[in-house]
């Protein structure tokens, strides 16, 4: 089976107009994974994935880097430039003077010369130190957004990354960021799935030329109990009607919305199914049914207790 051609989007504020494949393999820990991150990334490269989403806090950068160097050795790719690699800086490094060293550390761990995209993982700063989760509110200090962003712009100018972006930013926080950014964010990576469709935020980003990348596109991951998407009767019905999996319906919807998305599956077969979404379409009737799905945010925050103003009531 030949790997499908994965469509790409241009990151408008990136160096050299870098293109990002719309689907990426997520590497966040938490769900029960079959096999290791290294094996999963290698398998994904074999299947045609070219976009990999990591983060300093996931503890996977070394495995992702090892998989990339193995893929080069095996001739699965002829150059690192064929891949799009994202990482994210953790809240302990959200200090203007720590951004460049933190990114250089990620690059060393990944064994890469540059990243395609670096994101501010959360719009929160804590005292420097180890990655802890959840975060105690007592650890939080003021987030110097302008200072941090200026340091990220410096990373792009230095060639350490091709593009810079945000993650978990509300409209209000993006507006603040855009008010002083000389290099605007290329991407805002946020939760988007059929149970949390984020129309307002998506419309804002579209208007500002910011690409939205959806995490938890199948609403798995941190959820305990029923999955509003994968256990949804409406979606089961649509999947049956199209002869597709529920996951394929979810990902096709995201694609039709003009979004990019990172999906975590280390299962070989599901990895392949998740790529088979580019040669069919949802109908108007499907959209009507999809609009009736109950909406509720899955990932509510990362602090204990939760912060009142993290999402700015959006």
Q: What is the mean pLDDT of the chain?
A: 94
Q: Provide the whole-model pTM.
A: 0.96
Distance CA 60, CA 70 (A): 15
Average pLDDT (82-93) is 98
Range name among 6-10, 129-133, 144-148, 241-245 with the lowest pLDDT average: 129-133
Q: Where are the domains of the chain?
A: 8-304
294: annotated binding-site residue?
Answer: no
Q: Domain spanning 8-304 has what CATH number?
A: 3.20.20.100
Catalytic option among 49, 58, 255, 266: 58
Q: Which two tokens stand for residue 219?
A: 């609403």
Average pLDDT (114-136) is 94
Distance CA 62, CA 110 (A): 5
pLDDT at position 224: 53
Positive or negative, the Cα torsion across 148, 112, 205, 182?
Answer: positive
Other residues' Cβ atoms within 10 Å of the Cβ of residue 270 = 16
Q: How confident is the model at residue 291 (pLDDT cuts 50, 70, 90)?
A: very high
255 is catalytic: no
Find out whether 154 and 96 touch, Cβ atoms under 8 Å. Answer: no
Is the pLDDT at 132 greater than 90? The verdict is: no
The count of residues in the chain is 314
Instruction: For strands 8-10 and 19-21, give the pairing.
Output: antiparallel
The burial of 112, by beta-carbon neighbours within 10 Å (0-12 exposed, 13-18 middle, 19 or more buried), is given as: buried
What is the percent of the chain where pLDDT is above 90?
Answer: 88
Q: Which two tokens stand for residue 211?
A: 């690409």
pLDDT at position 1: 56
Is the pLDDT at 285 greater than 90? The verdict is: yes
List the Cα angle 214/313/167 in 5-degree steps: 30
pLDDT tens-digit series, residues 27-71: 998 655 557 999 999 999 999 999 999 999 999 999 999 999 999
């Amino acid at each position: 089976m030949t790997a499908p051609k994965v469509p790409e989007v241009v990151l408008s504020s990136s160096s050299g107009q870098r293109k990002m494949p719309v689907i990426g393999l997520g590497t966040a820990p938490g769900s029960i994974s079959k096999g290791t991150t290294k094996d999963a990334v290698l398998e994904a490269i074999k299947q045609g994935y070219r976009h990999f989403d990591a983060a300093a806090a996931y503890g996977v950068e070394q495995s992702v880097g090892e998989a990339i160097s193995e893929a080069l050795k095996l001739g699965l790719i002829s150059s690192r430039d064929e891949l799009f690699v994202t990482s994210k800086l953790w809240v302990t490094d959200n200090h203007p003077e720590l951004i460049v060293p933190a990114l250089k550390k990620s690059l060393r761990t990944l064994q890469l010369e540059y990243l395609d995209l670096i994101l501010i993982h959360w719009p929160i700063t804590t005292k420097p130190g180890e990655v802890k989760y959840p975060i105690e509110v007592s650890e939080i200090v003021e987030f110097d957004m302008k200072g941090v962003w200026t340091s990220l712009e410096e990373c792009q100018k230095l060639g350490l990354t091709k593009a810079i972006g945000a993650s978990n930013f509300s409209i209000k926080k993006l507006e603040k960021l855009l008010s002083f950014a000389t290099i605007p964010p290329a991407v805002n990576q946020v939760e988007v799935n059929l149970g949390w469709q984020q129309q307002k935020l998506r419309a804002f980003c579209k208007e500002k030329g910011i690409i939205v990348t959806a995490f938890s596109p199948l609403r798995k991951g941190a959820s305990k109990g029923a999955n509003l998407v994968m256990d949804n009767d409406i979606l089961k019905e649509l999947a049956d009607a199209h002869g597709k999996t529920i996951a394929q319906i979810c990902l096709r919807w995201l694609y039709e919305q003009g979004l990019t998305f990172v999906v975590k599956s280390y299962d070989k077969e599901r990895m392949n199914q998740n790529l088979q979404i580019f040669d069919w379409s949802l109908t108007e009737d499907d959209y009507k049914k999809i609009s009736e799905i109950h909406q509720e945010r899955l990932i509510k925050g990362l602090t204990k207790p939760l912060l009142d103003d993290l999402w700015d009531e959006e």
